[in-house]
Amino acid sequence: MPSETRRSIEELVARYELEPELRDIYVEGQYDKDIFSVCLGGVGNFPEVIYDIGTVSVPAELLLEYELTSGNKQRLIVLAKKLAALDPECLYRCIVDRDLDHWLQGLEEVPRLRWTDHTSVELYFFTKEIIAHILITATRSKIKDIDLYLSSAVYVLKLMYAMRLVDKELRWELEWIEPTKQLSEKAGAVQLDSVIYVRNLLSKNKKSKDIGEFNAALARWMETLNGDPRSYIRGHDLVFLLAWTVKEFNGVKEFQSEVAMERAFVLVANKAPDLLGLVR
Summarised one tens digit per residue, pLDDT across range 85-126 is: 999 999 999 999 999 999 998 899 999 999 999 999 999 999
Helix (H), strand (E) at residue 25:
strand 24-27
Alpha carbons within 13 A on the beta-carbon side of 164 = 21
Domain boundaries, the chain: 7-115, 125-266
Q: pTM (2 decimals)?
A: 0.93
What digits encode the pLDDT tens for the residues 246-257?
Answer: 999 999 999 999
Q: How far does CA 50 lie from the centroid of its chain? A: 18
